[in-house]
Structure 1
Amino acid sequence: MKIIDWYILRRYLVTFLFTLLILIPIAIAIDVSEKIDNFLEHTNLGLEEILNDYYKNFIIYYANTFMPLALFIAVILFTSKLSNNTEIIAITNAKVSFTRFLYPYFIGASLVTIISLGMNHFVVPNSSKVRKGFEKKYLSNTREKNDLKFISDFSLQLTDSTYIYLKNYNTETNSGYNFTSETYDGLKLKSKLSADNLRYNTKDSTFSLTNWRKRLIYKDRDSIFKGNKIDTVFNFTPRDLIYKSALSQEMPSNELIKFINLSKKRGVKNLNAYLVELHKRTSLPIASYILTIIAVALAFRKRRGGTGVNLAIGIGIMFLYIFFMKIGEVLGSVAGVNSFIYVWIPNIMFGLLAIYLYWNARK
């Protein structure tokens, strides 16, 4: 790398970190103003717990979320400054092409992308688990808590031949009622196990059935057994009963992939909300390259109005990207659609814009 490459790369990273450090305190200030009443409601909640369990993980989540925005603004700011100071004119007069000029930018974008990919796939999910646990304990309203606490009319396919059904289940007490497990041989029912009550034992991962009845169906007769209580094992845990899209944010990618594959085998039909979260963890960091090209192409030439005009155009483009990204996430979560395509649509659209601006800037 030449001296000019190190100069641009250093300015790239310093301006990026500076922009990120401006955005994070703003987000914290807004969040504190919204949640201060909730914090004061809990007299047993100390400052150390708020900072360690909530705001530390809040910073991790939003720092990663703001990375593309901070990157885009940073590139426009310091590239516009290079242009206004006629430094770019000196570079082009030295026979440096626009493509070669992008070299240090792409090194910087690669560093940001690698960090963001690692954060998205492994660090942020574990951090979100702690943060959401804090929110559930101190900040959630009664309705939100009940959505995760009570599960009703739930059915699940455990294997190709075994199905279960629960009328109601409480995730806090690990107990439910009106439980049924059916085993089939093709379309023919082979056995049926029913119980009035069911309780999960976390120590040994077994289920206790109360007032149970088991029916075995043979070719010419049936056998019926019953009892007051029996402990048995099933190929599921209470966590498998909760299909809330918010839970996907708490799973590292390897765990999320296993969960999706297992849920598909169990016959869960709509997992698109989980697939959207998985695809988004890769698509957003990759956008760093696209946004870098757009930002450099916009700020490469000196404009009347200077940095302010470039920044206004850039922020407008950035909000359009976020708008299309959110639309893609919503549409990608609908059952029956290809979630991968919808999540990547913003990158495809703005990738085409980046190519157009790149060819135009080369001229």
Structure 2
Amino acid sequence: MKIIDWYILKRFLVTFLFTLLILIPIALAIDISEKIDNFLEHVDLGFYQIADEYYKNFIIYYANTFMPLALFIAVILFTSKLSNNTEIIAITNAKVSFQRFLYPYFLGATLVTLLSLLMNHFVVPNSSITRKKFEKEFINTRSQKQEFKYISDFSLQLTDSTYIFIRNFNTETNSGYDFTSEVYDGLQLKSKLVADNIKYQNKDSTFALQNWRLRKIYKDRDSIFSGRKIDTVFSFTPKDLIYKSALAQEMPSDELYKFIEVSKKRGVKNLNAYLVEFHKRTSLPMASYILTVIAVALAYRKRRGGTGVNLAIGIGLMFIYVFLMKISEVLGAVAGVNSLLYVWMPNFFFGCVAIYLYFNARK
């Protein structure tokens, strides 16, 4: 690398970290002002617990979220400064093409992208477990706490031939009622197990069935068995009954992928909320390259108004990107659509913008 490459790369990373360190305290101040009443309601909640269990993981989450925005603003700021100081004119007079000028920027974007991928796929999901647990205990309202507590009219395919049905299940007590398990041979029902109540026992990972009836169907006769209580094993746990998109944020990508594959085999109809979360963990970091090209192309030429105009245009484009990203996440979670296509749609759109600005800047 040449001296100019090191110079640009160093300025790139320093400005990026500076911008990120400005955005995070703003997010902290807003969050503290919103949740201070929740903290004060719990007299046994100490400062260290709030900082360690909530705000440490809060910073990890929002630092990762703000990375593309901080990258975009940082590139515009220091590239505009290079342009205003006529440093870019000196570089172009030295026969350095716009394509070659982008080289140190892409090195910096690659470092940020790799860090963001690591954070998205592994670090943030693990930290979200502690943060979500804290929110559930000290911050969430009563209605929010009830969201994951009760599951009604749930069906699940355990294997190619085994299906279960539960009328109602409480995930806090791990108990429910109106349980049915059916085993098929093709389209032919082979056995049916019914119980008035079901309870999961953590100590040995078994289910206790109360007031159960088992019907086995043969070619020429049926056999019926019944009893007051029986312990048995099924290939699911109470966690498998909770299909909420918020849970996807707490799973590292390898665990999330396995969960999606197992859920597909079990016949869960709509997994797009999980697929959106899975695909977003890659699409958002990869946007760093697109946003870098747009930012450099905007700030490459000296403008009347200087850095302020470039920054205003850049922030406007960034808000459009965030707006499109949120819309694509909502549309991608709808059943029957291609979630991968919707999640990557903002990148495709802004990729076209980046290509146009790139060729325009080369002129």
If the TM-score is normalised by the length of the shorter chain, which range does it land in?
over 0.9
Paired position in structure 2 for 1:95: 95
Are residues 1:165 and 2:165 paired?
yes
Residue 220 of structure 1 corresponds to: 220
Partner of 1:295 in structure 2?
A: 295
Q: Which residue of 1 aligns with 2:19?
A: 19
- Give structure 2 stretches of 5+ with no counterpart: none
Q: Residue in 1 aligned with 2:146?
A: 146
TM-superposed CA distance for 1:56, in Å, is: 0.2
Q: Displacement, 1:188? A: 1.3
Aligned pairs for 1:13-162 within 5 A = 13-162=13-162
Matches within 5 A, 1:175-194: 175-194=175-194
Write the deviation string for residues 134-177 of structure 1: whole angstroms up to 9, x where unpaired: 00011111111111011111111111111101111111111111
1:306-360 residue CA offsets vs partner (Å, 9 max, x unmatched): 0000000000000000011011000000000000000000000000110110001
Distance in 1 (CA, whole Å) between partners of 2:283 and 2:249 is: 15
Equivalents in 1 of 2:217, 2:142: separation in Å? Answer: 45
Deviations 1:228-250 (A, max 9, x none): 11111001010000000110000
- How far is 1:219 from its partner? 1.1
User: Partners of 1:38 and 1:202 in 2: how far apart?
Assistant: 32
State the partner residue of 1:351.
351
Q: Which amino acid aligns with 1:309?
A: V
**Alpha-carbon displacement from aligned partner over 1:104-160 (angstroms, at most 9, x marks no partner):** 000000000000000000000001111000000111111111110111111111111
The runs of at least 4 consecutive aligned structure 1 residues that moved more than 3 Å come to none
How many residues matched? 363
Is 1:256 paired with 2:256?
A: yes
Query: Residue in 1 aligned with 2:284?
Result: 284
Q: Secondary structure at the match of 2:147?
A: helix
1:203, CA displacement in angstroms? 1.5
Could you say what secondary structure the match of 1:14 adopts? helix
State the match for 1:315 in structure 2: 315
Letter in 2 for 1:114: L
Counterpart CA distance in 2 for 1:145 and 1:154 is 19
Distance 2:142 2:3 in 1: 59
> Which residue is equivalent to 2:203?
203
- 1:271 correspondence with 2:243: no
Question: Offset at 1:252?
Answer: 0.2
* Secondary structure of the corresponding residue to residue 215 of structure 1: strand
- 1:280 maps to a residue whose letter is K
**CA deviation string 1:249-303 (max 9, x = no partner):** 0000000000000000000010000000000000000000000000000000000
Equivalents in 2 of 1:143, 1:187: separation in Å? 41
Quote the residue 1:10 is aligned against. 10
> What SS does the corresponding residue of 1:251 show, helix, strand or coil?
coil
For residues 283 and 100 of structure 1, the distance between their equivalents in structure 2, rounded to whole angstroms, comes to 26
C-alpha distance in 1 between matches for 2:234 and 2:4: 64
How far apart, CA to CA, are the structure 1 residues paired with 2:177 and 2:320? 49
Shift of residue 220 of structure 1? 1.3
Partner SS, residue 135 of structure 2? helix
Aligned-residue offset at 1:180: 0.5
Rounded to whole Å, the distance in 2 between the matches of 1:325 and 1:201 is 42
Q: CA RMSD in A?
A: 0.5
SS in 1 for 2:194: strand
| Percent identity over paired residues | 79
Q: How far apart, CA to CA, are the structure 2 residues paired with 1:242 and 1:110?
A: 37
Structure 2 matches for 1:319-338, cutoff 5 A?
319-338=319-338
Letter in 2 for 1:245: S
- Amino acid in structure 2 at the alignment position of 1:322: V
Counterpart Cα distance in 1 of 2:174 and 2:100: 61
Q: Give me the whole-angstrom Cα distance separating, in 2, the residues matched to 1:254 and 1:138.
A: 30
Q: Which SS does the other structure have where 1:302 is aligned? A: coil
Do structure 1's residue 236 and structure 2's residue 236 form an aligned pair?
Answer: yes
Matches of 1:239 and 1:181, distance apart in 2: 18
CA distance in 1, matches of 2:44, 2:266: 42
CA distance in 2, matches of 1:141, 1:190: 46
State how far apart, in whole Å, the 2-side matches of 1:155 and 1:289 are.
43
